[in-house]
Amino acid sequence: MRRWELHPDRALPAEERVRELARAILETTVGLPVVSMHGHVEAEVFARDEPFSDPARLLVVPDHYVVRMLVSQGVPHDALGVPRSDGVAVESDPREIWRTFAAHWHLFRGTPSRFWLEHVLIEIFGVEQRLSAETADAAYDTIAGRLATPEFRPLALLNRFDIELIATTDSAESDLGHHASLASRGWGDRIVPTFRPDGLVHLDRPSWTDDVALLGRRSGVEVNSYRTFLDALRERRAAFVAAGARATDHGHVTAATAPLEDAEAEAIFATALRGEVTAAQAAAFSGHMLLQMARMSCDDGLVMQLHTGVLRDYDPAVLAARGPDVGYDIPLATEYTRALRPLLERLGHHPALTLVLFTVDEDAYSRELAPLAGVYPAVRLGAPWWFLDTPDAMRRFREAVTDTAGFYNTTGFVDDTRAFLSIPARHDLARRVDAGHLARLVAEHRLDLDEAHELARELAYDLPRQTYPAKVRVHA
């Protein structure tokens, strides 16, 4: 069996002349550090800096891309070690979980999961044979051996991956203790938090009352009204800025930003405190809070990231049995033009606001998002996200948005992953796809070669840096 290797031309154009140009353009980005401004790696992972437990719990069990593909082919969650809410035992032997994954490796042919995992397995861990039922144990032993060494602890990998800056995602109620610990050890300018208030602005979440009480304790503001709720959020945002945060992150089903009158917002909030809020009231309030968050960003300068159009935890039976985030998040068609109008007509030209829009609805790119980013100074387009972070979807993104928004109304590449070890692979893929797109423009004499080299660097490094600038830290 031949040695498993990555092809140097992977994801580059097939046509030879364009491929030659793409190779040269890609060289511009080789050696550039990684700027990962929208990660979901837990700050605790870096603060504790402990060895990862085993290959299965690192690469299989928490990866919803991997889990959903295997489940779709009849592999039960139990066999993959995904915990049950009722405490019933599931497969706990990591080697058995890994064997199940390896035996189904063929299912990932042609998927981005294969691209990322091959990079991780070959480049990072040195696995020498393609995964299969026959090679599962050898691969497991290779990875487990590497994980036992100091070079594979999180902070050491941060250096190995040349990650210059990484942003974690932290709930608004977080005490930021892990970030304080990292800052005390000299990592505070390299590992920064991101403010995520979703648990507080969606009033019909089961844990909302508890989350609001915790917000009050963290902020030092007694939250007993809509007004004090806003005060507490401002206090927490200030604490995040003081800890180095550069952005906020908002996950909403729709992009609705219709405002409420203060009295109506106050009444809905009081209803929620009594545990009587309706779904319609909660939806109206969450849209209203997007506008309030944008106003706060104008005050404190935090970049506002908005992800919409995903119906999370689609299957209620699976949610009840397994909890959230086990692969049952399904995209929805999403409307932006009317939904964002209340926010943009008020703040779209505000010099202190940067609103980064992510979507999983490709139809919205050329129809709505690119035209919005192409006229409003506050709007930037985030990189293809989630179901769209694939080679072909990344190409379609460039083709769909550049005509109207150009390159400079995008963020460059933002990886949006909680799979720490896949970060280098994702950035490598984005750089390859962009090199191919720029090469085609050069081959068609729509771009000069020196411009393509300049753009490649800007898309990989400069634009993320410019989109998410450091904030002046304030006293919380």
How far does CA 215 lie from the centroid of its chain?
Answer: 24
Among 368, 379, 281, 304, CA closest to 333: 368
Structure tokens at 299: 């005050």
**How far apart are the C-alpha atoms of 441 and 447, rounded to whole Å?**
5
CA angle 414, 420, 426 (to 5 degrees): 45
Please report, for residues 38, 244, 246, 455, 475, the alpha-carbon distance to residue 411 in angstroms, rounded to integers and kept in the order given.
11, 20, 14, 12, 29
Residue 115 dihedral angles phi and psi, to the nearest 5°: -55, -50
Q: What is the CA radius of gyration of the chain?
A: 23
Report whether pLDDT(120) > 60: yes
CA angle 379, 200, 84 (to 5 degrees): 110
Place of tokens 């898309």: 459
Among 229, 251, 254, CA closest to 173: 229
- How does pLDDT run across 377-393, given as a tens digit for each residue? 999 999 998 899 999 99
Q: What is the pLDDT of residue 476?
A: 42
Q: What is the pLDDT of residue 324?
A: 87
Maximum Cα–Cα distance for the chain, whole Å?
71
Q: For a pLDDT cut of 70, what percent of the chain falls above it?
A: 99
- Summarize the confidence of residues 114-143 as an average pLDDT: 97
Structural domains in the chain, sorted by start:
16-50+153-467 (3.20.20.140), 52-149 (1.10.2020.10)
- Summarize the confidence of residues 241-251 as an average pLDDT: 97
- How does pLDDT run across 389-427, given as a tens digit for each residue? 999 999 999 999 999 999 999 999 999 888 999 999 999
- Summarize the confidence of residues 96-115 as an average pLDDT: 97
- How does pLDDT run across 154-176, given as a tens digit for each residue? 999 999 999 999 999 999 999 99
Q: What is the pLDDT of residue 473?
A: 61
- How does pLDDT run across 317-358, given as a tens digit for each residue? 999 999 888 889 999 999 999 999 999 999 999 999 999 999
Place of tokens 């009033």: 203
Burial of 143 (0-12, 13-18, 19+ CB in 10 A): buried
- Is 386 strand, coil or helix? helix
Are the C-beta atoms of 54 and 99 separated by less than 8 Å? no
Are the C-beta atoms of 322 and 62 separated by less than 8 Å? no
Are the C-beta atoms of 301 and 243 separated by less than 8 Å? no
Structure tokens at 249: 């992150």
Q: What is the pLDDT of residue 418?
A: 84
Tell me what the pLDDT averaged over the chain comes to. Answer: 96
- Summarize the confidence of residues 188-195 as an average pLDDT: 97
